[in-house]
Amino acid sequence: MKKKTEKAYFDEQWGGMTTHLKAFIGSGDQEELHLFRVQAKKIRAMLTLLDFASPKHQLLRGFKPIKKIFKHCGIIRNAYINLQLGARYHLNNEQFISGQQYIMENGVVEFKTQSEKYLKTVKSTYYDLKSGLRQVDNDNINAFYKIYLERASDALSPLQFNEELHICRMQIKILMYNRKIAFKALDGKLPVNTVYLDKLQDKIGNWHDNVLAIELFSTPELKDERVIAEIKKQNTRLKRAITTLAKGFEKKVILEEKPISENKK
């Protein structure tokens, strides 16, 4: 991958992250908050790849200031998701709802008071990281994908519905986030079936979200057996779907022929 391409992609992703952060500060809109976090994950995935290719230049360390902002956003986001879950399952618990509403609204207010500092942090971190970008050899990109696919394969065989499966999903997401910059390096050497990977990680993500929802509705504060039973039924169906998708992972994840859309590029 050319350094020029690498820097252009970094600028694109960082610009998107900054835009969504500013939009959230201005409006408090939850979708902007979500998109900021997605962009931060994309950048972190890129830095993970670059660190693999150049161990002497650990860029992820320089990303730590953004992680602090990301975690602050996570508190607000979790409260919002809890409120969404409450509405979805018609939860009748005013104390819980008002508590989550307070965490969310107070979190937004607190975040805005620190917005000037956060924006300065984003700007300074950008320059620090960009100056440390190094060209990545295509062989290193291929090696990175092979290792992460092997890790996913190991996690899926035997398939167990535990925290390891969630970690497997996060590693697959790193591959998905990097597919745009890795495409040329993988082309003809390691034709990854990203459509399959995306479908698999999405199902695992839904399963994990339900696990967290079950934990939430099982707390002494809520203890809603009706909702727990409903979510468990959903997860039974998801487990069947994941089991089917995960079977034969090694054969499914590598394409025998490049997709038509890729052949045209």
Summarised one tens digit per residue, pLDDT across range 162-203 is 999 999 999 999 999 999 999 888 887 889 999 999 999 999
Low-confidence ranges of the chain (pLDDT < 50): 259-265
Q: What contacts 54, CB < 8 A, 6 or more positions away? A: 134, 136
Predicted local distance difference test score (pLDDT) of residue 259? 46
Cα-Cα-Cα-Cα torsion 53, 136, 197, 232, nearest 10 degrees, comes to: 50
Closest CA to 98 of 79, 113, 116: 79
Residue 248, sorted as left (phi over 0), alpha (psi -120 to 50) or beta, turns out to be left
Predicted local distance difference test score (pLDDT) of residue 264? 41
Structure tokens at 105: 């609204």
